[in-house]
Amino acid sequence: MNKLIAPSLLAADFGRLKEEIEMINASEADWIHIDVMDGLFVPNISFGFPILKYINKYAKKPLDVHLMIVQPEKYFERFKEFGANILTIHYEACTHLHRYVHAIKDLGMKAGVVLNPHTPVHVLENILDDIDLVLLMSVNPGFGGQKFIENTYLKLANLKKLLSQGNGKIKIEVDGGIDLTHARKLFLSGADILVAGNSIFSSENPLETISFFKRI
């Protein structure tokens, strides 16, 4: 199994953002995860386009952009312009999910759908043939450093069962409160990509921690 790790820049030191990006470039990480929050869909505000442009200038890994915003469809072209390779949008924020997924794909990005912890996986039944990725939130979105929700393992198993009935090419990403104590079970339960923030950027040796995630 190919284990992918996506360090979340939300946990990085913004005072030395270039150095943090260069650390990820030099690491065994696969993607760079970018959480975009608008203060409406979630109670927090994070990266805007000027920061994303800066990240794209230095990043050498694919940019995995997670939109925690209302009306995400207004900004798809701009996220493409500023380097997004993967764009994930929340089921809970999208009235016309099928239309938005295809708008993302038409721009040449991979399209993913995000589910909040309370949202059951069966809501994806009618979109599975159209998406590249499902992102399961293992915390309530909006803030880093939250406690991992243990029910995520069951939800992951339910998603794997659903995918086995159809599009087996869809990747499963898990995001929120993940550290090395969760990683092995998440991978064994079917996750393909793990997002890790504080567990990487607050460690004494982030490069080594990323390596541990890859080899766990």
pLDDT of residue 141: 83
> Taking 70 as the threshold, does the pLDDT of residue 1 lie above it?
no
CA distance 174 to 151: 12
pLDDT of residue 44: 85
* pLDDT 10s digits, 125-176: 999 999 999 999 999 987 777 899 999 999 999 999 999 887 678 999 999 9
CA distance 94 to 140: 17
Domains of the chain: 4-215 (3.20.20.70)
Task: Give Cα 162 to chain centroid, integer Å.
Answer: 20
CA distance 198 to 10: 9
Active site residue 35: yes
Which residue of the set 13, 132, 175, 192 is catalytic? 175
The whole-model pTM stands at 0.95
> E-strand spans in 18-109?
32-37, 63-68, 84-90
Active site residue 30: no
* pLDDT 10s digits, 69-86: 999 999 999 999 999 999
Which residue of the set 35, 38, 64, 132 is catalytic? 35
